[in-house]
Amino acid sequence: MLIGLAFFGILVGMSSGFFGIGGGTILVPSLIYLGFDIKVAIGISVMQMIFSSMFGSYINYKGGVLQLNSGIFLGFGALFGAALSGFIVKALPQIALLILFAVILALSIYKFFTAPLEPKSEPNESKSLLFIVGVVIGAIAISTGTGGAVFLTPVLVGFMNWDIKKAVGTTLFFIIFGSISGFISLAANGLVDYDAGVAVGIGSLVGVYFGVKLSHRVSKNVQKRALLILYVIMLGLTLNKILSELGVL
């Protein structure tokens, strides 16, 4: 089982590096379909994010697509917001977490789809605004088992006029802060499967290297289309799970 999870971690890591995500967007629904409880799946997901986000951010920094100054303020906000995740996950029932994830994902898809490929004005890099964005997304994202990039990238590109390449590179850095804080909070509430988390995390180190390298090489248009496809697939899986929970399917 653990060896299988490690190989699956390679695929998650490649997606993490290419899309600038923590991997939870793929990992949480997949683990649920493998029979894991959503709260345990969230704990595993957050743990592997620490592995992939730190290594992937180092590669992005070397490649010049990481906005380090802005990323730090997003990260500090994520530290504060993600610290609330353990309480949120413990307090909310599974169906509420699924619906929360689906609603925010749907809004993210819409805003990202309507955003222009090339920014029409200077990017907004207000430090106070970035901190607030980090707090809100950090709390919501870690509570739903994602690193936040699935929500943060559309915000940076659609609302704050960031270049998509720099947005993807910076959101992976943002995930470092949220995943560490979220891991501490979830672990304190007994919601982490350490063996599974380490297995997936080690596999993701291999995958994230190739994913980041590919991200640097493809065009912005290709990367945007790929992100939209990923978001729609994950929304479909989540909606299917919600309907199953409600007894409709």
* pLDDT tens column, 129-157: 999 998 888 887 777 766 677 778 888 88
Nearest to 43 by CA among 205, 188, 177, 236: 188
Cβ neighbors of 246 (< 8 A, separation 6 or more) are 95
Token readout for 183 is: 């891991």
Instruction: Tally DSSP H helices, then E strands, for the chain.
Output: 11, 0
Report how far residue 186's alpha carbon sits from residue 169's, in angstroms, rounded to the nearest whole number.
26
Q: What is the SS3 assignment for 202?
A: helix
- Percent of the chain scored above 90 by pLDDT? 11
For residue 156, what is the DSSP state? I
pLDDT in tens, 83-133: 777 777 778 787 887 888 788 778 878 877 777 777 677 888 889 999 999
User: Helices (DSSP H) in 92-219: which residue ranges?
Assistant: 94-114, 127-143, 149-154, 164-188, 194-217
Q: Is the dihedral of CA 22, 28, 29, 30 positive or negative?
A: positive
Of the candidate ranges 79-88, 163-172, 202-211, 220-229, the one whose mean pLDDT is the lowest? 79-88
Q: Which of 182, 173, 210 is nearest to 53 (CA)?
A: 173
Question: How far, in Å, CA of 52 to CA of 74, rounded?
Answer: 18
Structural domain boundaries of the chain? 2-245
d(CA 172, CA 193): 23
Cα distances from 171 to residues 32, 36, 63, 193, 227, in angstroms, run 25, 27, 15, 25, 13
Residue 50 pLDDT exceeds 80: yes
